[in-house]
Homo-oligomer: A and B are copies of this chain.
Amino acid sequence: MAVVVRNIRRADAGSVAAFGDYGVATVHEAQGRTGVMQPYMRPIWPGARIAGSAATVLAHPNDNWMLHVVMELCRPGDIIVVALSSPNTNGMFGDLLAESAMAQGVQGLVIDAGVRDVASLQEMGFPVWSRAISAQGTIKATPGSVNVPVVCAGARVTPGDVIVADDDGVVVVPRTKAAEVAEKSRQREASEASKREYFKSGKLGLDLYEMRGKLADAGLVYVDSLDDLEG
């Protein structure tokens, strides 16, 4: 039950790198509006933006032992994703573990629990998306697992999946679809640029997307004033 998987397959480096250019909202749209973690996962400081390969941890409430175990299995660029066997907000990660993670080349942390030393983490430039900020420390008593499939904040993460995180939250891209989703993200981004110019000029989405007929078909009615409704 408590198992560590030493070797995982990662998405090809090119695909992972490509995600560095796209936001979480774009990527999740590009893969059919899937893979977004629950919105309670928030960055501990604003402006961070990362994309990388997931090293996963399944930990127990109030126990951060596995965070030491995952370190030696990370490669530069990896993002550590911590799921919990049941909900807890204790501060399982702080500046010492961040120092260790940065030394291994880890880009950042996504954790469905609490973190602490957040002022230090911001100074160090180590980005974290978490469920909570909490000074409450944890123990090292029960082994969990490393690099097994997990459910983190409502999203399935298989080791080696691509994680993209920014101020909007966190999205997971399955490893096997990374190249395809990266390409679709590129297309979407390009298309958005031209739409943005269109809107900037004052023209309306009603016309761009030819919505007027569809809205009427769906039953939308226009009246001149509120009095027409109540009369």
Task: Enumerate chain A interface residues (CB-CB to B < 8 A).
Answer: 1-8, 23-25, 28-29, 32-34, 36, 38-39, 42, 46-47, 49, 60-63, 65, 68-69, 71-72, 85-91, 94-97, 99-100, 102-104, 114, 116-120, 132-137, 139-143, 147-149, 151, 154-156, 159, 166-169, 171, 192, 195-196, 199-202, 204-206, 209, 211, 215, 218-226, 228-229
Contact = CB atoms under 8 A, between A and B. Distances in A.
B159 A196 contact: no
Contact of A36 (B1, B135, B205): B135
B86 A119 contact: no
Contacts of A90: 61, 86
Nearest to A166: B119
A172 to B, nearest CB: 11
B96 A34 contact: no
Contacts of A42: 133
A210 B7 CA distance: 23
Nearest to A60: B62
**Most chain B Cβ neighbours within 10 Å, of A133, A159, A211:** A133
Q: How many subunits of this chain does the assembly comprise?
A: 6
Contacts of A23: 117, 119-120, 135
Contacts of A63: 62
Given A28-B135, A32-B1, A167-B118, A151 B148 contact: no
A116 B5 contact: no
Contacts of A34: 1, 85
Given A33-B85, A71-B206, A116-B168, A4 B222 contact: yes
**Most chain B Cβ neighbours within 10 Å, of A29, A38, A88, A116:** A116
Contact of A89 (B86, B96, B133, B148): B86
Given A96-B196, A159-B226, A215 B69 contact: yes
Contact of A5 (B47, B97, B218, B225): B225
Contacts of A143: 215, 218-220
